[in-house]
């Protein structure tokens, strides 16, 4: 059974889209209004607003009102959750690759030419 973690699901869903990753990168560099963000893309204001909503739902950004503008601000702590999740998989795969390397090294020593010659020498019938 696959366990679902809504927080992680929303986070990776948000990061799965190239436009949202680009928006996230832009607001990481500077707080921007939705209108200012929209200027960078060939998308409508409404489309950008929808992307921002997905990023908000994943807690990657938040909106803050300053005067008449709503600025989009990055929330770096959400990326920490993704990093920790991915780190667990990295550790798992590093361990598996280490086991594979050890197995291959063991097989190489068994199949080396000198050990092969020794086996051939012992396998010859005596006269």
* DSSP-derived secondary structure for 6-19: HHHHHHHHHHTSHH
Strands 69-74 and 61-66: antiparallel
In the predicted model, is pLDDT for residue 122 greater than 60? Answer: no
Per-residue model confidence as pLDDT tens digits over 55-109: 999 999 999 998 888 999 999 888 888 788 788 777 778 877 878 878 888 777 7
Query: Is residue 90 located within the same domain as residue 39?
Result: no
- pLDDT in the model for residue 75: 92
Please check whether residue 127 lies inside any domain of the structure: no
Higher-scoring residue by pLDDT: 116, 42: 42
What is the reported pLDDT for 120?
55
Do residues 14 and 39 share a domain?
yes
Q: What is the pTM of this model?
A: 0.67
Same domain as 67, residue 35: yes
User: Which residues on neighbouring strands pair with residue 65, listed in sequence order?
Assistant: 70
Residue ending a domain, among 56, 75, 94, is: 75
Query: Helices marked H in the chain — which ranges?
Result: 6-15, 18-29, 34-38, 45-57, 77-110, 113-123
Domain that holds residue 107: 79-122
Our count of domains for the chain comes to 2
Residue 1 lies in a domain: no
Cα dihedral sign, 22-24-29-31: positive
In terms of domains, do 43 and 29 share one? yes
Among positive and negative, which fits the CA dihedral 3, 6, 8, 13?
positive
pLDDT for position 25: 95
**pLDDT over 90, % of the chain:** 46
Nearest-angstrom CA–CA distance, 74 and 29: 9
- The answer to whether the beta carbons of residues 57 and 89 sit under 8 Å apart is no
Q: What is the tens place of the pLDDT at every residue in 5-59?
A: 888 889 999 999 999 999 999 999 999 999 999 999 999 999 999 999 999 999 9
Residue 24 pLDDT = 95
């Amino acid at each position: 059974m696959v366990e679902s973690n809504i927080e992680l699901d929303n986070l990776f869903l948000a990061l799965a889209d190239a436009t949202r990753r680009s928006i996230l990168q832009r607001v990481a560099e500077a707080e921007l209004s939705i209108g200012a963000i929209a200027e960078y893309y060939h998308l409508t204001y409404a489309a950008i607003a929808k992307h921002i909503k997905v990023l908000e739902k994943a807690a990657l950004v938040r909106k803050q009102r300053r005067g008449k503008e709503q600025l989009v601000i990055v929330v770096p702590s959400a990326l920490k959750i993704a990093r920790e999740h991915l780190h667990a998989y990295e550790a798992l795969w590093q361990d598996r690759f280490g086991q594979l390397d050890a197995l291959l090294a063991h097989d190489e020593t068994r199949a080396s030419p000198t050990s092969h010659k020794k086996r051939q020498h012992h396998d010859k019938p005596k006269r």
